[in-house]
Amino acid sequence: MLYTLLCYNSEDVVFSWSQEEDDAVMGRLSVIHERLHKEGKLGPSLRLLPTTAATTLRKDEPPLVVDGPFAETKEQLLGFYVIEVADLEEALGIARELAAANPGGAYEIRPVRLFLPGEKVG
């Protein structure tokens, strides 16, 4: 069985950490990451950049691009993609294509700051 762990914390608090505090947390986490990776239990893992770096493409007709995260509580996170592109424009182009194929809701385009690749996939 595959599980997803979604990490939540107060963004205000996390971005008030000093570099040393942040490094300390990441250091403690990386010990666990390494062990899980060795055990073959760790899949792709991401650390997202802050919500202020996010852009949202609402799947309206035509699609509407807005700044900020997608925060509509009536809809739930159903899955996610990881894409490697040159810039936001290219990412939005892909999101537009996906939106045309899958109407309703929105895609939040949020840059990633840490990427731990792993072998496990569904």
Chain residues in the site for other proteins (CB under 8 A): 10-19, 21, 24-25, 49-53, 55, 65-68, 87-89, 111, 113-114
Please give the helix or strand (H or E) that residue 109 lies within, else none: strand 106-109
Count, residues in the chain: 122
**Nearest distance in Å: CB 34, other proteins:** 20
Q: Cβ closer to other proteins: 53 or 98?
A: 53
What's the min distance (Å) between Cβ of 5 and other proteins?
18
Nearer to other proteins, 7 or 41 (CB): 7
Closest by alpha carbon to 45, among 24, 28, 30? 30
* Shortest distance, position 32 Cβ to other proteins, whole Å: 15
30 or 52: CB nearest other proteins: 52
Of 87 and 119, the one with the shorter C-beta distance to other proteins is 87
Residue 48 and residue 113 in contact, taking contact as beta carbons nearer than 8 Å: yes
CB-side neighbour CA atoms (13 Å) of 7: 9
Are residues 17 and 94 in contact, defined by beta-carbon separation less than 8 angstroms?
no
Q: How far is the CB of 120 from other proteins (least distance, A)?
A: 25
Note whether 95 and 107 are within 8 A (CB): yes
